[in-house]
């Protein structure tokens, strides 16, 4: 990882990234919670983009992957600002399509609201907006507030799944599903109906709240939260390709 380039945020955090110029709009991949830019969906999409001569940018949020910073010190607002930094500095305001996985699907909405002229399309993979509100039991929320952190076993690796009060409070302040979402660009949503982390019905709720008339949802009957099987990744690539063709 020592050969990775970095972009520096205003507070001194250094964000690791991989960028390849090409035809626009550029694809910007946003990983999920406790994920990074080297995940299977990100790298597969990057390989496809390379084969098509498409510009693509992927990066690690602060405190994640190869970027600097302490993970447990971060908030959703910090990671939203990291996305905006990539749009402003690395893509220099040029048109972009955001592809967000799980929490990255929440961040893509926040970024589209902040940069409506630059963000031309969105693709959500098991998008999880507002999960600080609906994703925890009352008992878990009380633990977060009283003890400052909640630690749970992760089904995706050995490292425990940690949620801090800093992150949870930031998420609650940045909820988007309470009313109409003022995003007018085309949106594509992919969701597995066997997703045990983010119920697929949330995609319908998100679909109904988006202002855009061009919103399509695709459900995979036997798909889980990760949607990382070969067929799932083929669906993702086809979805991104189809969206880019109509922009």
Task: Report how far residue 125's alpha carbon sits from residue 127's, in angstroms, rounded to the nearest whole number.
Answer: 5
Please give the Cα distance from 200 to 220 (Å, whole number): 10
44: tokens are 């597969």
Nearest CA-CA partner of 35 in 87, 88, 79, 5: 79
As a whole number of angstroms, the distance between CA 140 and CA 126 comes to 22
**Structure tokens of 211?**
């202002």
Catalytic residues: 102, 195, 225
Please tell me the distance from the alpha carbon of residue 34 to that of residue 31, in angstroms, as a whole number: 8
């Amino acid at each position: 990882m020592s050969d990775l380039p970095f972009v520096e945020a205003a507070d001194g955090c250094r964000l690791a990234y991989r960028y390849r110029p090409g035809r626009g709009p550029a694809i910007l991949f946003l990983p999920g919670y406790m994920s990074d830019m080297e995940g299977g969906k990100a790298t597969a999409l990057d390989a496809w983009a390379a084969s098509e001569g498409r510009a693509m940018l992927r990066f690690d949020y602060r405190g994640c992957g190869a970027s600097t910073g302490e993970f447990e010190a971060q908030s959703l607002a910090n990671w939203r600002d990291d996305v905006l930094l990539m749009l402003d500095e690395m893509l220099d305001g040029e048109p972009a399509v955001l592809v967000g996985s799980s929490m990255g699907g929440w961040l893509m909405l926040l970024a589209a609201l902040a940069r409506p002229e630059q963000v031309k399309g969105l693709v959500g993979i098991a998008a999880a907006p507002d999960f600080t509100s609906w994703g925890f039991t009352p008992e878990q929320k009380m633990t977060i507030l009283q003890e400052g952190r909640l630690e749970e076993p992760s089904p995706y690796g050995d490292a425990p799944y940690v949620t801090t009060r800093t992150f949870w409070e930031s998420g609650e302040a940045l909820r988007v599903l309470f009313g109409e979402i003022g995003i007018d660009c085309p949106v594509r949503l992919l969701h597995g109906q066997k997703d045990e982390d983010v119920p697929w019905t949330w995609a319908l709720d998100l679909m109904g709240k988006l202002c855009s008339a061009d919103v399509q949802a695709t459900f995979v009957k036997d798909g889980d939260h990760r949607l990382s099987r070969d067929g799932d990744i083929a669906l993702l690539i086809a979805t991104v390709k189809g969206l880019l063709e109509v922009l």
